[in-house]
Amino acid sequence: MWEFVNFYLIPGLVLGCIYALGALGITLTFGILRFANFAHGEVMMLGTYLALTMVWLFGLHPLLAALPAMALTALLMLGLDRAFFRPFRSAPTIISVIASFGLMLMIRSAVQVIWGTQPRPILPGVQRPQAWLDGAILLAPKHVWILLATLAIMAAIHLLLTRTRIGKAMRAVADSPELARLTGIPVETVIRATWVVAAATAVAAGVMLAIDTQVETMMGFKMLLPMFAAAILGGIGRPFGAVAGGLVIGVAEELSAYPWLGTAPLLNPAYKSGIAFAIMVAMLVWRPSGLFRGRVL
Amino acid sequence: MSVLRLQDIDAGYGDSPILRGVSLHVDPGEVVVVIGPNGAGKSTALKAVFGLLNITAGKVLLEDREITNTPPERVVRQGVCYVPQTGNVFVSLTVQENLEMGAYVRRDDWRPRLKEIYEMFPDLAEKRNQPAGSLSGGQRQMVAMGKALMLDPRILLLDEPTAGLSPRYRGEIFQTVKRINAAGVPILMVEQNARQALAIADRAYVLVDGQNRHEGTGAQLLADPEVARMFLGAKG
């Protein structure tokens, strides 16, 4: 029982939190800008390298280093939007999608040139799991950080979207850009706010993934599929759907390796990333609006 | 001075004009109704005022300022509010959030205005925390009008507010339009339900084929045999 919780459920939740944070940005940008941003994973990776650099330069704790990295990446994202997405605002969606694809390749190559392709740890050493609840639950401190930080960020996003003027305007633009314009909501300002939130949450997800594993230049690309799967599962354009979708996919991936039948893992762990893909395809075929009635791709 | 004046407007999409030499005006305190057959350019006239399509000749004056071809986001800031026929509320936002968005361009404190709107539309106050998408068609129109009124507009443009509503709601909407007007807001309204619309209009215009055909007070047009034949059914 506790083995199930400690080695499958909790790692699933940790992974799910990371997916959820990543999927949040995808679903927000899709809802407001109406295109699938393939560069999202790479923005996450770039921000994680910036955080790694802060760790090297100033000896910061990775979670602290994430804050300036989030701010820097958000600024950079505004510049990238100006250069690569804004010229295509009124062009057909596919052009923005292709632009994001190109941007993805450019960012990855730039990072590989600057930082090299070798994987690097952001948190040195190995953390031993600590016993909680009389030793029933084993949990490494870094996993506690990840769970708590994700909760804090989700709460902040929730307040942003439901309590602030710009957050409500973001939801209004996601609802109907035309009506938002007629109402006098400055759509470009809302788009910039969206990029800032998307970049910041992506970097948070990237740093957490790096704390859990390591920093490498393919991390963004590998995250892309589960993040999109989570966004689609939750319903495109539904922030809380993306969070739920991320958690479901993270947990499903880890639980797929549990020895449900007999003693061998149900699914060889090497194939677990196939779970996200299977869920995404199944949703697109049977319920493209996702669990929370989002927009159909 | 008129609140809003269209002078010999040619307007349309691309090169082919839909409106040809249309003139109309709204004086302070008036409800002005535009009727006409489908495709006469009634809605086009509202869209032209709001900068949603290109005016190729003539001009639009808001009081004494020219606003010809000003884009919608700037026209709003000058105090012109436009309620489109469909898609006029943010369906996933609550009623109150819709009203707040209506006040987005206000720099001052909009909360007193929100209270006034709730007094004007008690139904909305009751449903303030419900998503606008969960309301009936008539109630959505109320939200859309309330949202526009949050700005304290100098003039309100309504595009067929009763389209697709049941007769019961239609009457309610026309009563609401009169109430809004009684509170001092001039209204320019395009309508299909000509008889009911003319009944509440101070003045009205008949557009046919993108041109002015008739104008007069609501009562005059209701009594006009040609208008009756064209729009009011056989019995007028």
What are the structural domain ranges in chain A?
2-117+139-286
User: Is a pLDDT exceeding 80 seen at residue B9?
Assistant: yes
Percent of chain B with pLDDT over 90: 86
Residue A63 has pLDDT above 60, yes or no: yes
Residue B57 pLDDT class (50, 70, 90 cuts): very high
Evaluate whether ipTM surpasses 0.95: no
* Residue pairs spanning A and B at CB distance below 8 A: 55
Q: What is the DSSP letter of A46?
A: H
Tell me how far CA of residue A196 lies from CA of A75, A76, B94, B125, in angstroms.
Answer: 7, 9, 25, 34
Q: Token pair for residue A144?
A: 């506690």
Query: CA-CA distance, B79 to B60, in Å (whole number)?
Result: 14
pLDDT at A296: 64
Contacts of A238 in chain B (CB under 8 A): none
Q: Which of B89, B140, B92 is nearest to A295 (CA)?
A: B92
pLDDT in tens, B138-188: 999 999 999 999 999 999 999 999 998 988 889 999 999 999 999 999 999
Residue A276 burial (CB count, 10 A): 26
Task: Give me B136's structure tokens.
Answer: 């009936």
Task: Judge: B104–A184 Cβ closer than 8 Å, yes or no.
Answer: yes
CB contact at 8 A, B187 and B3 = no
Report the residue of chain B nearest A172, measured CA to CA: B90
Interface of B with A (CB under 8 A): 50, 72-73, 76-77, 82, 84, 87-93, 97, 100-102, 104-105, 147, 151
% residues pLDDT > 70 (chain B): 98
**CB-based contacts of B32: which residues, under 8 Å, 6+ apart?**
B24, B25, B26, B186, B187, B188, B189, B201, B202, B203, B204, B205
CATH topology of domain A2-117+139-286: ABC transporter involved in vitamin B12 uptake, BtuC (1.10.3470)
Residue A272 has pLDDT above 90, yes or no: no
Minimal C-alpha gap between B51 and chain A (Å): 10
Residues A189-216 have pLDDT tens digits of 999 999 999 999 999 999 999 999 999 9
Q: What is the mean pLDDT of the segment spanning B215-229? A: 90
Residue A233's identity, in one-letter code, is: L
Contacts of B122 (CB under 8 A, 6+ apart): none
CA distance B153 to B160: 19
Query: What whole-number percentage of chain A has pLDDT above 70?
Result: 99
* pLDDT at residue B233, as a whole number: 62
What mean pLDDT do residues B197-206 have? Answer: 95
Q: Tell me what pLDDT residue B236 has.
A: 35
Closest Cα partner for A154 from A232, A243, A27?
A: A243
Q: Does pLDDT of B49 surpass 80?
A: yes
pLDDT at B81 over 80: yes
pLDDT digits (tens, 9 = 90+) for A110-146: 999 999 999 999 988 778 888 877 777 888 899 999 9
**Mutation for A interface: B52, B78, B101, most A CBs within 10 A:** B101
Q: Which residue in A has a C-alpha nearest to residue B88's C-alpha? A: A179
Q: Is the dihedral of CA A206, A212, A215, A218 positive or negative?
A: negative
On chain B, the residues whose CB falls within 8 A of the CB of A176 are 87, 90-91
- Residue bearing the bigger pLDDT, A296 or B23: B23
Structure tokens at A96: 């923005």
Whether the predicted pLDDT of A266 surpasses 90:
no
Closest to A179 measured CA to CA, from B130, B139, B101, B146: B101
How far is residue A12's CA from residue A247's CA, in Å, rounded to a whole number? Answer: 8
What digits encode the pLDDT tens for the residues A243-258? 999 999 999 999 998 8
Provide CB contacts within 8 A for A163, sequence distance 6+: none
Tell me whether residues A171 and B89 touch, CB distance under 8 A. Answer: no
Is residue A257 a contact partner of residue A8, using CB atoms and an 8 Å limit?
yes
- Pairs from A214-218 (Cβ < 8 Å, separation ≥ 24): A214/A119, A214/A120, A214/A121, A214/A122, A215/A48, A215/A49, A215/A52, A215/A119, A215/A120, A215/A121, A215/A122, A216/A117, A216/A118, A216/A119, A216/A120, A217/A45, A217/A108, A217/A111, A217/A112, A217/A115, A217/A117, A218/A108
- CB A292, CB A240: distance < 8 Å: yes
According to DSSP, the β-strands at B65-66 and B54-62 are antiparallel
A297: confidence class by pLDDT, cuts 50, 70, 90: low
What is the pLDDT, as a whole number, of residue A251? 95
Q: Which residues contact A36 (CB under 8 A, 6 or more apart)?
A: A26, A30, A97, A100, A228, A297
Can you give the length of chain A in residues?
297
Q: Among all residues of chain A, which has the CA nearest to that of B89?
A: A179
* HSE toward the beta carbon, residue B40, CA cutoff 13 A: 20
Greater model confidence, B134 or A291: B134
Is beta strand A137-139 parallel, antiparallel or unpaired with respect to B65-66?
unpaired
